Copies of this chain bind each other. A is one copy, B any other.
Amino acid sequence: MKLYDCATAPSPRRVRIYLAEKGLDIPVIQVDLASRAQHDDEFLQINPHRTVPVLETDDGARLVSTAGICQYLEQLHPEPPLIGRTALERGQVIDLDSRIEFEGMHAIAEAFRNKARSYANNALTGPHPYAQIPQLVDRGRERVGHFFEWLNEHLADREFVAGDHYSIADISALVAVDFSAWIKMSPPEGATEIARWHQQVSARPSAKA
């Protein structure tokens, strides 16, 4: 098994943290997004959709979404459970993870990619050259503000995002909060619940992954 990664990018960091929490150590191949290596012919053979992470199995099958990669690994390595311990918890973790993906990660990416000069004709991931839409910068930032409001309120009566146990929803939320620095945002000062939780999950060794 091997992982196509980019050490500086938020999406593959979700998989790196997941692997660290599971105690899995697999070979990593760096794809330098900063030098646009995801558009090189060599990488197009790996993932025509031009994104990392990509997990390649020993049989050469490839998984290209964080959700798909984590679900696959969870079946092979169920301990410690990171996608719920029961059917209901699994549903709840995936519910929360989907929300963080869309309202956190996508919103930050929207604000970032529609502004950064180097993404001028690359406002969405993938092979197609979508132009930037300046209004999405403000909309993305507004969405991120609402995401922080929700997350702070949500964490008020929960130790972790999905309740009393650490899960992929914590990984996604941690990566989203840290990714928000790319658009010069951070949880507001009054967001004490996020601050408490962020300190706790950032102190886990996996957060360095």
Contact = CB atoms under 8 A, between A and B. Distances in A.
Interface string A79-93: 000000011101111
A88 B57 contact: yes
A143 B139 CA distance: 20
> Helix, strand, loop or mixed for chain A's interface?
helix
B135 A130 contact: no
Interface stretch (A20-28, A33-41, A62-70): A62-70
Given A72-B87, A72-B90, A75-B87, A64 B133 contact: no
Nearest to A149: B128
A98 B135 contact: no
A146 B128 contact: yes
A136 interface: yes
Stoichiometry, copies per complex: 2
A49 to B, nearest CB: 8
Interface string A105-118: 00000000000000
A90 B63 CA distance: 10
A15 to B, nearest CB: 12
Given A61-B88, A87-B76, A98 B68 contact: yes
A157 to B, nearest CB: 15
A30 interface: no
A165 interface: no
Interface of A: 49, 55, 57, 61, 63-65, 67-69, 71-72, 75-76, 86-88, 90-95, 98-99, 103, 124, 126, 128, 130, 133, 135-136, 139, 142-143, 146
